[in-house]
């Protein structure tokens, strides 16, 4: 059976697990068709749809198109599929590190991914005993468990009554989450789920809920909780975006992730993040779709206002009979992949104002034992947040905004072996942490690191600062480090072009670049000014995170003309007619 599979697909071993990458990559190579770009052949190929980029959004889009009976080819620049959902041995043999993302509450909740039933294609979710803990300096902590009473008890330790406040927050979530989650992940404007949501809330309730969603995380924490614990959970989760806890709308992210954590946990795929990618690739293969790796797309070919295919970096043309879906960064799509001559000048001006999210430094560790946190809750949680108090969130965000390396970086720490023991040899731990830094570093807020030479020479010393933050809360941590790998912002971008400058969410999550304003005003849907071309990446609504929403929306938009031949692009800058391509 394995031999038969290996003939049909390229079968690659990644540490202890197995991943499937489609056959073209290997055939092209064997036939000597390769070039410096990879293994793309020079033959013209014709499919219904070309998807550029095999990140989660590209793969979700490809699966939806294949489900509709379209022939689909996904072209991926990296040597393996997955985008920011990949796993590899970065440090020592036997330690499987998630190269980028690791925890998937959004994937567990979003219908766009859930409906693909990836469990039938090999995906297995694992969960840690506790979902998430916040580690305080003195060894104190607060934690989320999937048992609401346990979470309430943890929050209640900070102020009597806060446990009930948590329960009430979660009760409100469970009463509206169906329509809310539907509204979040479906194309904008999500008329039906919003109408149902409003009908359930009533006019005043709807206005109150709108106010709740617009609150800064600090204000939401103050309104909901008397003690520090609940607020730390809201604030830490809000900072998974690039929003400051003082920004309007940051409360929404904190609330959403806290409630998802409460309901679904922060699950991880068994064997590593790549388990999710592998399931998407397998499912696509089972429907005849292909993924070609090592194949960079250099140009979207546009004829008479319509995308008709792509040209790869080594000159191959892949023709798309019906659509091209781009799982690429918005500035890359509108700043080179599509010729400026094919785009409205207004759009190009708007793209000039596109705002990326912050840079990121990510550190991976191979440890010879679990992190020796002082707090028992932290020892049981798959994800740990590190910040001294709520003001530390604000100070950190302010330092980044002022182009300073933060003096006391807020850390998101992952202890992967606690959720999934297959990640490292028995008794050891595979861990990672990331924090954000300015895209353009001018100073070090702690006055310790020389950033004047430009470049990223400061990255290793900054990783030491991150380690010190853990060591304070887990004395003996450093002595357990057997191997370490540091991803600087440039390193992240080199591994995945969409992570430009270390951005993790495809552009800022601030209100001025959301919904109808994402990625630029007037293009809040997957449609672009070019007929047959759809933006399918986190740069499009609903933004960053692994949920496949942007990919599913792009696929839905691409399929629409087949059902409704003469629909026009909504909004300004319409150029091409939707519908079948010109003969
Ligand atoms: C360090 C880090 C931690 C994160 N943690 C989490 C987490 O725990 N949970 C979570 O939900 N999210 C997390 N995220 C965010 C999440 O990973 C991203 O939002 C998500 O991967 C975006 O998916 P995407 O498909 O839009 O883009 P990507 O995953 O970036 O994939 C894009 C793909 O397109 C390819 N590509 C780009 N240009 C071309 C081209 N011209 N030709 C061919 N191929 C091209 C790239 O190589 C890449 O493979 C994290 C991100 C990072 C970087």
Segment 60-95, tens digit of pLDDT: 999 999 999 999 999 999 999 999 999 999 999 999
- Cα 19 to the chain's mean position, in Å? 20
Q: Ligand 1: which of 84, 358, 540 to mutate, judged by most atoms within 8 Å of the beta carbon?
A: 84
Q: Which residues line ligand 1 (CB under 6 A)?
A: 52-58, 75-78, 83-85, 100-104, 106, 296-297, 327-328, 360, 362, 434, 492, 496-499, 504-506, 537-538, 544-546
Contact 334, 351 (CB under 8 A): yes
pLDDT classification of 569: cutoffs 50, 70, 90: very low
Output 511-514 pairs: Cβ under 8 A, ≥24 positions apart.
511/247, 511/248, 511/249, 512/355, 513/354, 513/355, 514/249, 514/541, 514/543
What are the structure tokens assigned to 223, written together?
């309104």
Share of the chain above pLDDT 70, in %: 89
Q: Strands of 15-104 (E only): list them.
A: 17-22, 45-52, 72-75, 87-88, 97-98
Sign of CA dihedral 398, 405, 464, 92: positive
Band the pLDDT of 23: cuts 50, 70, 90.
very low
Domain-wise residue ranges, the chain: 2-87+273-354+507-563, 126-268+356-495
Three-state SS string over 182-205 comes to: HHHHCCCCCHHHHHHHHHHHHHHH
Give Cα 152 distance to the centre of its chain: 29
Residue 39: is its pLDDT beyond 50?
A: no
Q: Above pLDDT 90, what percent of the chain?
A: 79
Q: Give the 3-state secondary structure of residue 281.
A: helix
- CA of 13 relative to ligand 1 center, distance in Å: 22
Task: Share the mean pLDDT of the chain.
Answer: 89
Query: So what's the pLDDT on residue 320?
Result: 97
Q: Is the pLDDT of residue 577 over 70?
A: no
- Check pLDDT > 80 for residue 525: yes
Over residues 106-122, the mean pLDDT reads 95
State which of 107, 307, 435, 504 you would mutate to test the pocket of ligand 1, scoring each by most atoms of that ligand within 8 A of its C-beta. 504
pLDDT tens digits for range 280-319 = 999 999 999 999 999 999 999 999 999 999 999 999 999 9
- Does residue 340 carry a pLDDT above 50? yes
Residues 3 and 452: their CA atoms lie apart, in Å, by: 56
Domain 2-87+273-354+507-563 belongs to what topology? FAD/NAD(P)-binding domain (3.50.50)
Count of H-run helices and E-run strands, the chain? 20, 22
CB 522, CB 571: distance < 8 Å: yes
Q: Which fold has domain 126-268+356-495?
A: Polyamine Oxidase; Chain A, domain 2 (3.90.660)
The residue whose CB lies within 8 Å of the most ligand 1 atoms, and thus the one to mutate among 546, 548, 552, is 546
Average pLDDT on 184-199 reads 81
pTM of the model: 0.90
Burial class (CB in 10 A: 0-12, 13-18, 19+), 384: buried
Q: Is 506 left (phi over 0), alpha (psi -120 to 50) or beta?
A: left
Q: Which of 126, 104, 154, 102 is nearest to 377 (CA)?
A: 154
Residue closest by Cα to atom 5 of ligand 1: 101
């Amino acid at each position: 059976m394995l031999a038969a599979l290996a003939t049909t697909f390229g079968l690659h071993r990644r540490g202890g697990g197995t991943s499937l990458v489609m056959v073209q990559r290997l055939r092209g190579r064997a036939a000597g068709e390769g070039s410096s770009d990879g293994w793309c052949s020079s033959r013209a190929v014709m499919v219904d749809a070309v998807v550029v980029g095999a990140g989660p959004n590209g793969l979700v889009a490809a699966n939806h198109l294949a489900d509709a009976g379209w022939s689909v080819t996904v072209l991926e620049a990296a040597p393996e599929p997955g985008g920011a959902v990949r796993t590899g041995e970065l440090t020592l043999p036997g330690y499987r590190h998630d190269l980028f993302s690791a925890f998937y509450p959004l994937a567990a909740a979003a219908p766009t991914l859930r409906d693909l039933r990836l469990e039938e294609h090999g995906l297995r979710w694992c969960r840690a005993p506790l979902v998430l803990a916040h580690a305080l300096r003195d060894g104190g902590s607060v934690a989320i468990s999937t048992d609401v009473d346990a979470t309430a008890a943890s929050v209640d330790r900070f102020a009597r009554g806060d446990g009930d406040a948590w329960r009430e927050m979660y009760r409100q979530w469970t009463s509206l989450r169906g329509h809310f989650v539907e509204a979040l992940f479906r194309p904008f404007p999500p008329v039906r789920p919003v109408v149902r949501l409003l009908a359930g809330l009533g006019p005043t309730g709807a206005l109150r809920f709108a106010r709740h969603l617009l609150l800064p995380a600090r204000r939401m924490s103050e309104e909901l909780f008397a003690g520090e614990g609940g607020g730390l959970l809201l604030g830490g989760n809000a900072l998974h975006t690039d929003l400051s806890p003082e920004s309007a709308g940051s409360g929404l992210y904190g609330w959403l992730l806290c409630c998802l954590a409460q309901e679904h946990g922060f699950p991880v795929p068994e064997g590593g993040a790549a388990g999710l990618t592998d399931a998407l690739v397998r499912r696509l293969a089972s429907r005849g779709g292909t993924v070609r790796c090592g194949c960079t797309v250099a140009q979207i070919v546009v004829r008479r206002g319509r995308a008709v295919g792509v040209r790869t970096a080594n000159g191959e043309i892949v023709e798309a009979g019906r659509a091209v879906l781009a799982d690429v960064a918005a500035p890359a799509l509108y700043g080179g992949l599509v010729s400026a001559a094919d785009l409205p000048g207004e759009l190009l001006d708007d793209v000039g104002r596109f705002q990326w999210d912050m840079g990121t430094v990510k550190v991976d560790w191979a440890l010879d034992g679990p992190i020796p946190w002082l707090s028992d809750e932290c020892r049981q949680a798959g994800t740990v947040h590190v910040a001294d108090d709520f003001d530390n969130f604000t100070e950190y965000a302010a330092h980044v905004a002022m182009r300073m390396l933060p003096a006391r970086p807020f850390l998101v720490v992952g202890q992967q072996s606690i959720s999934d023991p297959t990640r490292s040899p028995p008794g050891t731990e595979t861990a990672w942490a990331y924090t954000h830094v300015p895209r353009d570093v001018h100073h070090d807020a702690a006055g310790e690191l020389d950033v004047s030479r430009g470049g990223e020479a400061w990255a290793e010393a900054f990783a030491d600062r991150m380690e010190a933050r853990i060591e304070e809360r887990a004395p003996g941590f450093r002595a357990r480090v057997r191997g370490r790998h540091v991803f600087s912002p440039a390193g992240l971008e080199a591994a995945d072009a969409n992570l430009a400058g270390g951005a993790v969410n495809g552009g800022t999550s601030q209100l001025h670049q959301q919904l109808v304003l994402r990625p630029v005003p007037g293009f809040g849907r997957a449609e672009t000014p070019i007929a047959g071309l759809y933006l399918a990446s986190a740069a499009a609504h609903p933004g960053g995170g692994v949920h496949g929403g942007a990919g599913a929306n792009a696929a839905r938009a691409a399929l629409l003309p087949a059902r409704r031949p003469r629909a026009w692009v909504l909004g300004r800058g319409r150029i091409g007619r939707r519908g079948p391509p010109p003969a």
